[in-house]
């Protein structure tokens, strides 16, 4: 017998335990996808399994619901695989080991995969049943949601007829998610020219910031180290002449950068003690402005050895500073419909130098790499490599036209600075529907079952619902789920009673979708 065999609802926990026995980390979904396909075959249900391992299963409506509008039940098959030090589980081959204690399900030393295994378990339990009233069902199981929603992005939605969707991929009972931001990654390519300069090289470092997710935590007011570096260089440029040699900060465009370095060459004769005093004053300014959001913030300067560098020329240095100071960043607009929701924002997540080997077209994307290589072989670097400084932004908005407007602003400024931009990874917003019949129904059912109103909310980040909304015009969708805590960590846990209540809630919603 399984660890969860005595829990109710029994079909849900049976399937959840079976799912946990199957390796199903992101990028390793063959087995779980085949499990769902075999389920459809065993139960005589029509299904599609595509080349990406997405699965769609159809079931006709029960008696009295044959002609009701169909409903999509959707979740993702993959889980985040994290484990504690010393845990010997091989996520590629092994299932996870479940633990049950006082009504709380967890895993021994690993993530649980409640996100989003519980959605698959709910759907399979409904598809298996002969006595649950429901309209025609299109169960959609996507893959690799946790590594960029690539399964949903690749899914051919043309076989789907429903325009009602229950997405069971939220982790807090009592919250109904009804909107998410769309987004795109935008890169500004700023071509620069190097020249041999003599002077006093020094590295300026901005460190100790908190950072965070550029969508969910963009409203926390935290500092962006790349933007502060632009501000720092501008302040210094008002008093001193220098050329930028290298500059880099941040690793992901969807993360607020925590650290940025810039090596500059001050003109010979600069009183470096004066520069150091100015950096100390700048450090005090930033510490004062961000004392509550980034208490560990630190700005300092270190004098480098040597005196000759192939640094960016005066014009290139000026254009870099102008770009960093002038391009927008952070919150651009708050929602008027949902209190406290960021509607539109952008984040300069990555600042780096890209070296293009003119002989082979090969790109080197590390500012650190170039700094080290050029110190030992400067003339080789100068003659064989063309250079650009790239600024990588994550642009988000729950209103598609506002996202386009922000991208156009970047493009306009880029053109003025003789730069180019590229956009990739564009995904649509899931726009808030004020008059959503599904949300109204789910709110009514929730009040009846729980005796209180649910919290209707939106998120300033991308979720799969946005991709489905973009592919299925007119889609009415709500995301919800049971209580799952500490997702994506080995401390992940799921509440048994919350799973039961959410199951009953789901069944009542299906019953009323007639």
3-state secondary structure 119-149: HHHHHHHHHHCCCCCCCCEEEEEECCHHHCC
What pLDDT, on the 0 to 100 scale, is given for residue 380?
45
d(CA 224, CA 244): 20
Cβ pair 170, 479 in contact under 8 A: yes
CA-based R_g, the chain, Å: 27
Cβ pair 93, 477 in contact under 8 A: no
CB-neighbour burial class of residue 193 (10 A; exposed 0-12, middle 13-18, buried 19+): exposed
d(CA 177, CA 458): 5
| Beta strands, E only, 11-135 | 47-49, 55-59, 71-76, 98-101, 104-107
Q: Are strands 455-459 and 175-180 parallel, antiparallel or unpaired?
A: parallel
Question: Which residues are bridge partners to 249 per DSSP?
Answer: 260, 351
With b for 16 or more beta-carbon neighbours within 10 A and e for fewer, the 341-362 pattern comes to: bbbbbbbbbbbbbbbbeeeeee
* CB-facing half-sphere around the CA of 175: CA atoms within 13 A: 14
Helices 314-326 and 225-237, packing angle to 10 deg: 130
Three-class SS state of 387: strand
Three-class SS state of 64: coil
d(CA 503, CA 122): 7
> Any idea what DSSP says for residue 380?
H
What pLDDT, on the 0 to 100 scale, is given for residue 427?
87
d(CA 454, CA 444): 9
pLDDT tens over the chain, length 514 residues: 799 999 999 999 999 999 999 999 999 999 999 999 999 999 999 999 999 999 999 999 999 999 999 999 999 999 999 999 999 999 999 999 999 999 999 999 999 999 999 999 999 999 999 999 999 999 999 999 998 899 999 999 999 999 999 999 999 999 999 999 999 999 999 999 998 899 999 999 999 999 988 988 999 999 999 999 999 999 999 999 999 999 999 988 888 999 999 999 999 999 999 999 999 999 999 999 999 999 999 999 999 988 888 899 999 999 999 999 999 999 999 999 888 999 999 999 999 998 765 444 445 554 444 455 555 445 444 444 568 999 999 999 999 899 999 999 999 999 999 999 999 988 888 989 989 999 999 999 999 999 999 999 999 988 999 999 999 999 999 999 999 999 999 999 999 999 999 999 999 999 999 9
Per DSSP, helices labelled H in 255-326 are 272-289, 314-326
What pLDDT, on the 0 to 100 scale, is given for residue 357?
55
* Cα separation values, 277 from 123, 226, 234, 280, 301, Å: 64, 22, 16, 5, 10
Q: Which helix (H) or strand (E) holds 183?
A: strand 182-192
Per DSSP, helices labelled H in 249-397 are 272-289, 314-326, 367-376, 378-384
d(CA 251, CA 254): 9
pTM: 0.79
> Any idea what DSSP says for residue 79?
B
Q: Are strands 164-167 and 71-76 parallel, antiparallel or unpaired?
A: parallel
| CA-CA-CA-CA torsion sign (318, 319, 322, 324) | negative
Cβ pair 493, 104 in contact under 8 A: yes
Cβ pair 329, 224 in contact under 8 A: yes
Q: Report CA 480 to chain centroid distance, whole Å.
A: 19
Distinct helix (H) and strand (E) counts, the chain: 13, 25
What pLDDT, on the 0 to 100 scale, is given for residue 365?
54
With b for 16 or more beta-carbon neighbours within 10 A and e for fewer, the 370-407 pattern comes to: bbebbbeebeebeeebebbbbbbbbbbbbbbebbeebb
Cβ pair 189, 415 in contact under 8 A: no
């Amino acid at each position: 017998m399984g660890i969860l065999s005595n829990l109710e609802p029994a079909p849900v926990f049976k399937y959840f335990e079976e799912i946990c026995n199957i390796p199903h980390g992101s990028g390793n979904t063959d087995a779980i996808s085949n499990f769902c396909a075999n389920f459809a075959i065993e139960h005589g249900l029509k299904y599609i399994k595509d080349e990406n391992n997405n699965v769609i299963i159809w079931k006709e409506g029960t008696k009295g619901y044959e002609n009701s509008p169909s409903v999509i039940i959707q979740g993702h098959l993959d889980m985040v695989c994290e484990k504690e030090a010393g845990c010997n589980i091989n996520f590629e081959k092994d299932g996870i080991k479940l633990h049950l204690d006082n009504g709380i399900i967890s895993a021994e030393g690993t993530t649980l995969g409640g996100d989003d295994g519980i959605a698959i378990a709910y759907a399979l339990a409904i598809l298996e049943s002969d006595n649950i009233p429901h309209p025609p069902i299109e169960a959609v199981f996507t893959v690799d949601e946790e590594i960029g929603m690539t399964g949903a992005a690749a899914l051919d939605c043309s076989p789907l007829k429903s325009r009602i969707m229950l997405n069971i991929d939220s982790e807090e009972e009592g919250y109904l998610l009804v909107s998410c931001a769309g987004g795109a990654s935008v890169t500004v390519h700023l071509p620069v020219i190097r020249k041999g300069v003599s002077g006093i090289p020094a590295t300026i470092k901005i460190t100790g910031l908190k950072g965070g997710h550029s969508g969910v935590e963009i409203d926390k007011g935290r500092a962006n180290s790349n933007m502060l570096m632009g501000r720092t260089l501008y302040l210094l440029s008002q008093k001193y002449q220098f050329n930028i040699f290298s500059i880099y900060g941040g690793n992901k465009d969807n993360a607020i950068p925590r650290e940025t370095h810039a090596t500059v060459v001050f003109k010979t004769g600069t009183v470096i003690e004066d520069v150091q005093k100015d950096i100390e004053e700048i450090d005090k300014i930033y510490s004062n402005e961000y004392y509550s959001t980034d208490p560990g913030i630190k700005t300092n300067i270190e004098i480098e050895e040597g005196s000759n560098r192939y640094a960016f020329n005066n014009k290139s240095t000026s254009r870099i500073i102008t770009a960093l100071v002038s391009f927008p960043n952070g919150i651009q607009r708050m929602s008027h419909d949902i209190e406290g929701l960021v509607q539109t924002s952008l984040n300069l997540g990555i600042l780096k130098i890209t070296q293009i080997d003119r002989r082979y077209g090969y790109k080197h994307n590390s500012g650190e790499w170039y700094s080290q290589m050029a110190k030992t072989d400067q003339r080789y670097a100068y003659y064989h490599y063309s250079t650009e400084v790239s600024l990588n932004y994550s642009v988000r908005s729950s209103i598609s036209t506002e996202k386009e407007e922000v991208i156009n602003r970047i493009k306009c400024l880029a053109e003025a600075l003789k730069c180019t931009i590229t956009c990739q990874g564009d995904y649509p917003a899931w726009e808030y529907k004020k008059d959503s019949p599904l949300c109204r129904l789910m709110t009514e059912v929730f009040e009846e079952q729980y005796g209180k109103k649910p919290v209707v909310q939106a998120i300033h980040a991308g979720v799969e619902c946005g991709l489905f909304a973009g592919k299925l015009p007119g889609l009415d969708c709500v995301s919800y789920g049971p209580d799952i805590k500490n997702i994506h960590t080995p401390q992940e846990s799921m509440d048994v009673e919350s799973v039961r209540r959410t199951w009953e809630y789901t069944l009542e919603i299906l019953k009323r979708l007639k």
